Structure 1
Amino acid sequence: MSIQKFIKPFVFLGLMANLSQAQEKTSYKFDFGPGKVAKGYTQILPNDAYSKEKGYGFDFDSKVEGIDYGRKNLLTSDLVKSNKPFYFSVAVPEGNYKITVTLGDPKGATLSTIKAESRRLMLEDVKITAGQSLTKTFIVNVKDKHIAGGQLVSLKPRELTKLDWDDKLTLEFDHQTALQALEITRVDDQVTVFLAGNSTVVNQDDEPWASWGQMIPRFFKPGVAIANHAESGLTLGSFLGSKRLAKVLSVMKPGDYLFIEFGHNDQKDKGPNDGAYKSYTERLKTFISEVKKKGGIPVVVTSTSRRSFGPDGKIVNSLGDFPAAARKVAGEEKVALIDLNAMTSTLFNALGEEPSKKAFVHYPANSYPGQDKALADNTHFNPYGAYEIAQCIILGIKEQKLGIAKYLVDDLPKFDPAKPDNPADWHWPESPKSSVVKPDGN
């Protein structure tokens, strides 16, 4: 048999695979509720559970009720809601997606918070009066582990069950949401902000853990997509070794950003060539140069401070030379620097030694299912702490005059790390899933 005959079947299979990928659906319009269906929309009833065959539906045993008010506007006269958070998933390929939700209840006021994938905050406390319907639009990044050329990101075991890495886009609606309609459309014109980091940056799946990377989508209008590739326990070296930088570079466009925050776990590298001014500095420069080669914009972020108070009741630096090394690299390479270490030190000092526990995972026993012991973690944040630190990042974006600042939301909260929000006044509808397992890293 000639070599041409041998390879023909594989060429054909390759063409079929490419055709299959091209035919993957990237646009949907859903009308929720039992009433008549608006033209051009697919009706979603309360019992429409997700299946791979269908490719969309309510997920994770969500229970919703459908209500039809029989009004003239077919899109807004019916809806679904629940007395618990509920999930809706759609199978889509990797990319950035514009999500448009129509919310409201003709007979009652609602207050909606919407998260995406692994508890990324997209919309916060959207108030809608009775009889009003409101349309909101935001951008969700969907990623997968495949890298051009047949390589794969080396995922940790815990990541294999994360919503961030599965084959669908999942939206989480809190228990006060009345959902009338949903549109999903892939968009290729967004500036993508990639995040590289550790457990202080990653999208944490479970309550009460949270990180700043999952909070910052809330602060951006369409025009910017946040692609969080951080993972707990990682260093600059293990981010490289698990092919995460290769993954980011494989999908990065000129004008995209990479925010780089490492240090907590890099401290534990004790080889002869390790240290803040050795391997850490060299690898940080590698990240920067590789991003620049792609036409991207690197941003160095110093590590978040730990909750480490000294005898004088003030935060002490527990990260050694790593924040200073990051500042030095940013200066030498002439790239933007967000000094998160300095801002979080100011933030925790402003809160005070005991009150600052409200920003971290400090909870008495039995606060969450299966938690028979108190949680006391001075590195990892709860949702309030993650939200405050995300606002530090936003402040840094403004101070550094980064181009993405023009995409910040119009209702951007005023923020000063020296005057943090009162945790008692901050509202976070908890997600159903919780864990007492501490994330990797320290």
Structure 2
Amino acid sequence: MPAMRAEAAIDEIKFDFGGGDVEPGYIGVSASDGYAPEKGYGFNTPDNMQNVTASGTGAASDAVQFLTYGTKSENTFNVDLSNGLYEIKVTLGNTARASVAAEGVYQVINMTGNNATDKFQIPIADGQLNILVTAGKEGTAFTLSALKIRKLSDNPVTNRTIYIGGDSTVCNYYPLDSSAQAGWGQLFKEFVSAQTFQVRNMASGGQIARGFRDGGQLEAILKYIKPGDYFILQLGINDTNPKNSTTEAEFKEIMRDMVRQVKAKGATVILSTPQGRATDFNAEGVHSSVNRWYRHSTVALAQEENVPLVDLNVLSSAYFTSIGPEATLELYMPGDTLHPNRAGATELARLVAEELQRQGLDGFSADR
């Protein structure tokens, strides 16, 4: 493959990683390809990369594996780019669960399954993209099959953004457009004006407030969030699990700390309470779960910090009551009374958007 300078004077650059055939229209990159200024792309430390096979087709039929990783790792794939705003589309190789980091912070959290695909916006202000696939689950391979880079603007500032934080009832599942299980954050963009906002769902399964604050997800949001952006934060389900050793008082203060850090960036913080279980019906057929998931502390915190509240716990209970126990159970995964399926996540996303629209926040629509 002759050297090709990657600097984005053109609209889109596509890379095909691994040791196999190179898909037409792509630049082939093997694990041994180190970065060189004359070509404008390559691995920073190629000794820490290896070629692997993948189960997809075309550019997804092979991949490279990152042998060292971490959001601060120097084992990155580097691409020289003119400064501006870019859309990055990533396709992983074979892996159980992996995250994507760039510029030292998380960009996509916990992509699951072989050849998972996702995309994100990133501003480049130093002339180079530095990206890697990193741990979502230790002990699995962190692999990259393909990368598409498209320039959106010469201005290195993200479009107006809604960031979402949460747990397994909120997070993304893959493939994004067809997964049976879904979090409401995954479906939220269906109720958001694409002309007003992009949605960045930073939720992850099993997450607690302390983990979200200290484990890199809040760090990624704070790096980019700005006035005009929203941050919707819904936690509490896993915090109430005794194994996580988080008292309700501790949960409330950790959440307060996150609220204040984001408010200091000039963005709007929105707190949300988690929905209950599918089986939280009384003998009269009324659904209620107001005593679950440290809800009372989230409600109180929203009042104390003067931030908008989406009491999804109560809103979803009213909806579940209106459709009844059997129809409610059909909105959850089989044999699972906590995690919504795609239809359930869609209804929860609708309720969140509908409530924000009712409160007068812009950019939302309850109509799909």
Within a 5 Å distance, the mapping from 1:288-299 to structure 2 comes to: 288-299=259-270
**Residues 274 and 293 of structure 2 are in contact (CA less than 8 Å); yes or no, is this contact kept in structure 1?**
no
Q: 1:314-354 deviations in whole A, cap 9, x for unaligned?
A: 32327536111111000010011111111111122222111
Q: 1:259-307 deviations in whole A, cap 9, x for unaligned?
A: 10001101014677x322x111101110111001111111101112221
Q: Structure 1: which 5+ runs fail to align?
A: 1-19, 31-46, 64-90, 100-116, 120-138, 145-149, 171-182, 363-375, 415-442
Q: Which amino acid aligns with 1:252?
A: I
For normalisation by structure 2, the TM-score amounts to 0.62
2: CA distance, partners of 1:401 / 1:310: 31
Q: After the TM superposition, which of the residue ranges 229-238 and 262-271 deviates more from structure 2?
A: 262-271
Within a 5 Å distance, the mapping from 1:349-388 to structure 2 comes to: 349-362=321-334, 376-388=335-347
2: CA distance, partners of 1:358 / 1:95: 42
Q: Does 1:195 align with 2:154?
A: no
What secondary structure does 1:377 align onto? coil
What secondary structure does 2:226 align onto? coil
Offset at 1:310?
A: 3.6
**Residues 235 and 274 of structure 2 are in contact (CA less than 8 Å); yes or no, is this contact kept in structure 1?**
yes
**Residues 167 and 205 of structure 2 are in contact (CA less than 8 Å); yes or no, is this contact kept in structure 1?**
yes
Q: Which amino acid aligns with 1:285?
A: R
1:141–1:25 CA distance, 2 compared to 1 (3 A):
farther
Q: Does 1:258 align with 2:212?
A: no
1:336–1:168 CA distance, 2 compared to 1 (3 A):
farther
Offset at 1:257?
A: 1.5
2: CA distance, partners of 1:215 / 1:321: 22
Within a 5 Å distance, the mapping from 1:290-439 to structure 2 comes to: 290-312=261-283, 313-317=285-289, 319-320=291-292, 322-362=294-334, 376-402=335-361, 405=362, 407-408=363-364, 412-413=366-367
1:310–1:260 CA distance, 2 compared to 1 (3 A):
same
Q: Does 1:61 align with 2:57?
A: yes
What secondary structure does 2:120 align onto? strand
What secondary structure does 1:330 align onto? helix
**Residues 299 and 337 of structure 1 are in contact (CA less than 8 Å); yes or no, is this contact kept in structure 2?**
yes
Offset at 1:141?
A: 3.0
Q: Which amino acid aligns with 2:208?
A: T
What secondary structure does 2:295 align onto? helix
1: CA distance, partners of 2:168 / 2:255: 18
Offset at 1:200?
A: 1.1
Q: Does 1:212 align with 2:212?
A: no
What secondary structure does 1:361 align onto? coil
Give the structure 2 partner of residue 157 of structure 1: 137
**Residues 261 and 301 of structure 1 are in contact (CA less than 8 Å); yes or no, is this contact kept in structure 2?**
yes
**Residues 140 and 225 of structure 1 are in contact (CA less than 8 Å); yes or no, is this contact kept in structure 2?**
no
What secondary structure does 1:360 align onto? coil
**Residues 95 and 141 of structure 1 are in contact (CA less than 8 Å); yes or no, is this contact kept in structure 2?**
no
2: CA distance, partners of 1:204 / 1:258: 20
1:268–1:92 CA distance, 2 compared to 1 (3 A):
farther
Offset at 1:356?
A: 1.3
Q: Which amino acid aligns with 2:294?
A: F
1: CA distance, partners of 2:80 / 2:240: 39
Percent identity between matched residues is: 21
Q: Does 1:227 align with 2:223?
A: no
Q: Which amino acid aligns with 1:229?
A: M
**Residues 310 and 352 of structure 2 are in contact (CA less than 8 Å); yes or no, is this contact kept in structure 1?**
yes
Offset at 1:397?
A: 1.2
1:264–1:95 CA distance, 2 compared to 1 (3 A):
farther
1: CA distance, partners of 2:251 / 2:161: 25
What secondary structure does 1:378 align onto? coil
Give the structure 2 partner of residue 141 of structure 1: 120
What secondary structure does 1:359 align onto? coil
Give the structure 2 partner of residue 185 of structure 1: 152
Give the structure 2 partner of residue 27 of structure 1: 11
What secondary structure does 2:330 align onto? helix
2: CA distance, partners of 1:153 / 1:255: 30
**Residues 96 and 190 of structure 1 are in contact (CA less than 8 Å); yes or no, is this contact kept in structure 2?**
no
User: How many residues get paired?
Assistant: 274
2: CA distance, partners of 1:317 / 1:292: 29
For normalisation by structure 1, the TM-score amounts to 0.52
1: CA distance, partners of 2:139 / 2:319: 31
Q: Which amino acid aligns with 1:354?
A: E
1: CA distance, partners of 2:214 / 2:163: 18
